[in-house]
Amino acid sequence: MLRKLHLTMLVLLLVSVTSMYGQKLLKKANKQFELKAYDLAIQNYIKTLAEYPENQEAKVKLAEAYRLTNRPLDAVNWYRKVSDMDIEPEYLKNYAHTLKKIGKYSLAQEMYIRYSQFDPIEGEHFAQSCDYAKSALSSEDQYSLSLFGANTKASDFGVSFYEGNVVFSSFNDATRSKGVNNKSFINKGTNKLYIAEGLRPKRGQDALVLRGSLKDDENIGPISYAKGSNVCAYTQNNFINGHSFVADGDVDLSIYLAEVDYNGDFKNEKPFSYNELGYSTGFPTFSFQGGTAMYFSSNRPGGLGGFDIYVSYYNNGEWSYPENLGDNVNTRGNEITPHFDGETLLFASDYHHGLGGYDVFETFVEDGYWTAPKNLGKGINSPSDDYFPSKNVQNKDIYFSSNRLGGRGKDDIYIGTPVYRDLLAANDAEETDNIFVPKAMSLADLDPFAGQSSNTNPEAANVNFTENTAVQKTAQSSLEADLEVPPAFKLPDLSSRTAGSMSGSLSSARKVAYGEIINTSSNVYFVQLAAFFNRTVDIDPYTRLSELGNIYKVYKSTATKVRLGYYLDRSEAQTVLKQVRARGFKDAFITYDALDTEHLELAISSHSSSTPSYTSTGSSEYKIRLASYEDPIWFDVNKVKGIGEIEQWTKGSWTIFVLSGYSNLEEARRAQIKSINRGFVDAEIVVDNNGILERMAKN
């Protein structure tokens, strides 16, 4: 009897432990989903379902994660497993949208009709859109397509034109130059602006990074250049390679305006005065000579739905308050990526009747009102997402991006040529990329459940539940388990480059940057203020010059040089030198030297008056050491935006990244937890004691 009791208690204990583990996995997956770490969330939802195959929440969230990472077939597979249940109306609508994106219009229409009991207007509208899609797919193409020659295996999007060349954004995130094999590129998960020579680059033709290596060039795009002016506008974005470009509640898109250099690069960036805190404002496009009007998309309050299209006018040196284009253009859904060619407004919408996800539409002003948007039809549009349209006004070619099947990457750029053009003459004048481009078609033949009725609830597809080694190791961390944080967002082959491989002592580390990242040793201009033949230097006399630039100590052999800078061109340094001499530093001069972090120390930062000079005593501050790398290029500053001020320190060949700006230990602890949630699972609190980093004593 006693033995049976022990056995029963053991079984109950195992069930309890298993249940707790499953709940932890689900909680972790939900947190990752909330942080938009969808790929990690997918792993943990699958593990949860391996333990609890009937967990409805995990099934729905897994379907949602697949949808948001543009994997519609996988999403449909999991939506189907809960479609006969009482699921939230929003998920039912998303299921119908996803069915439409794979061309299963009849099943999508059934789901929209079910959804109409919760929202009759939207449900009926989308049900009718399925009839429109069937009709549109049977019509003739109005455009012939070719793939843009500079497409990569990553997402490429957002074309604009500059001096007869094409500028676009790409997640092929590495410096590219002629003769470099694309296969060697390392994708860090950020997008940059590239410029391709000519309007129709050949396949395999290299595109070059637009921005200079010392400038902020990540997560920028698309860009728009004003005609007849040296002004541009661009989106500072938070896009993830292969994921949806916009989502409900997006708050991280902002518009910036800048002056254009001769090569299409820009400087003197300033935020658009009507960026809305807590909302997204992006996808700007200039119109009219000189860029006196700017159209853009935003999900700010007061709109008709998600993202609406607005216009602002430049007059007397100021931009006017944005005007909503109204309900002829905007809808309850999302209208994004506008492009105005002076006569016609092109844009993408997921609500106007279309073939699938986002479709491209055109409208123009007639008698003072925008006309009803016209769908550009099959060819330009497909059951997948089609967006980021731009028109070459000379030949009417339309450039756009799409995640349809048959391209080279996750999102590819296509060129649509009007069918009425003499294509043979066009090909004689300009060589095109003659590669097969898929037409807009149904994807039902790729659906593993093709031919089954919508009432069928198929058995779960075979799923490999093999534990991922990196996830296993992360799960063993008691700190992460307590905080319910996601695994580190680190490239798996870079584990030896993290803080764990560095010497434990931080005492000899020096700060080299505040509010920026230095990842190059290129030569730059400094204004040299003084030189001393010892390491102990009083920086206080130079404090008043910090408004002109950072104050650095540069260690050269036995000398310590005090320098102001740094500057990218000599004319800028010359202007600063005049101001320095006018303030009494008559012996100052310009020097041209490598920006070498191994011999550099930031004494006073121009970005913050609170940066200590390290000559005073009794000053200490709590900070967060994030990670250490042998090459700073591996650090992604975007992951810690909004948590604190970024600092870069160096110790020999190692670069240490630190967050600061906390007034007490409790603030630092909260920042540490946020850092771990963003993927820096080794983040630790340290003390900056008069310029010396010290680890906190353990209890």
Domains of the chain with bracketed CATH: 2-137 (1.25.40.10), 143-444 (2.115.10), 477-518+611-699 (no CATH), 522-595 (3.30.70.1070)
Most confident of 24-38, 163-177, 204-218, 221-235: 221-235
The helix/strand/coil state of 315 is strand
Q: Would you state the pLDDT for residue 500?
A: 37
What pLDDT score was predicted for residue 336?
96
**What is the arithmetic mean of pLDDT over 142-170?**
90
Q: What's the alpha-carbon Rg for the chain, to the nearest Å?
A: 28
Q: What percent of the chain has pLDDT over 70?
A: 79
Q: Residue 462 has what pLDDT?
A: 33
Alpha-carbon distances, residue 68 vs 89, 96, 109, 202, 246 (angstroms): 17, 14, 21, 32, 9
| Mean pLDDT on 101-127 | 91
Q: What is the pLDDT of residue 184?
A: 38
Q: 427 versus 501: which is more confidently predicted? A: 427
- What pLDDT score was predicted for residue 698? 57
Cα separation values, 69 from 40, 283, 677, Å: 11, 21, 20
- Directed axis angle between helix 56-68 and helix 2-34, to 10°? 30
Q: 3-state DSSP call for residue 659?
A: strand
* Cα–chain center distance at 663: 30
- What's residue 9's pLDDT? 58
What mean pLDDT is predicted for residues 576-604? Answer: 87
What does each C-alpha distance from 316 to 166, 292, 310, 313 come to in angstroms? Answer: 31, 10, 20, 10
Residue 441: what pLDDT? 43
| CB within 8 Å of 584: residues ≥ 6 apart | none
Range list of H helices, 447-547: 469-475, 478-483
Give dist(CA 603, CA 465) in Å, integer.
Answer: 52
**Region of poorest pLDDT, from 454-458, 579-583, 678-682:** 454-458
- Asked if 595 and 520 count as a contact pair (C-beta separation under 8 A), the reply is yes
Residue 699 confidence (pLDDT) above 70: no
Mean pLDDT across the stretch 387-414?
88
Residue length, the chain?
699
**Confidence band, pLDDT 50/70/90 cuts, at residue 453:** very low
Q: Average pLDDT of 655-671?
A: 90
Q: Mean per-residue pLDDT for 294-313?
A: 94
At 607 the pLDDT is 63
Q: Report the mean per-residue pLDDT for the chain.
A: 79
Q: What percent of the chain has pLDDT over 90?
A: 33
Mean pLDDT of 633-645: 82
Q: Roughly how many angstroms between the first and final C-alpha of the chain, as a whole number?
A: 48
pLDDT reading at 563 higher than 50: yes
pLDDT band at 166 (very low <50, low <70, confident <90, very high): very high
**Confidence bin at 387 (pLDDT 50/70/90):** very high
Residue 154: CA count within 13 A, CB half-sphere = 20
* Per-residue pLDDT at 655: 87
Identify the bridge partners of residue 502 per DSSP, sorted by sequence position.
none
What letter represents residue 205's amino acid? Q
Residues facing residue 563 across a β-bridge: 528, 552
Q: Strand pairing partners for 627?
A: 657
The position carrying tokens 């253009």 is 329
459 pLDDT above the threshold of 50: no
pTM of the model as a whole:
0.60
Of the two residues 112 and 185, the one the predictor is more confident about is: 112
Going by C-alpha positions, the residue among 312, 325, 336 that lies closest to residue 389 is 336
Calculate ∠ Cα 219-220-222, nearest 5°: 125
> Token match 């395999």: residue?
204
Which pLDDT value is given to residue 98?
92
Mean pLDDT within 349-356: 94
Q: Let me know: does 214 contact 524? Beta carbons within 8 Å.
A: yes
Of these ranges, 31-45, 302-316, 409-423, 640-654, the one predicted with the greatest mean pLDDT is 302-316
Query: Do you find a cis peptide bond into 222, omega within 30 degrees of 0?
Result: yes
Question: Which is higher by pLDDT, 602 or 454?
Answer: 602
Of residues 272, 256, 262, 196, the one with CA closest to residue 230: 262
Q: pLDDT category, 524, cuts 50, 70, 90?
A: confident
Statement: residue 475 has pLDDT above 50: no
Q: Is the pLDDT of residue 658 over 90?
A: yes
pLDDT of 173 reads 62
Per-residue pLDDT, 94: 92
Question: Given a cut of 90, is residue 258 above it in pLDDT?
Answer: yes
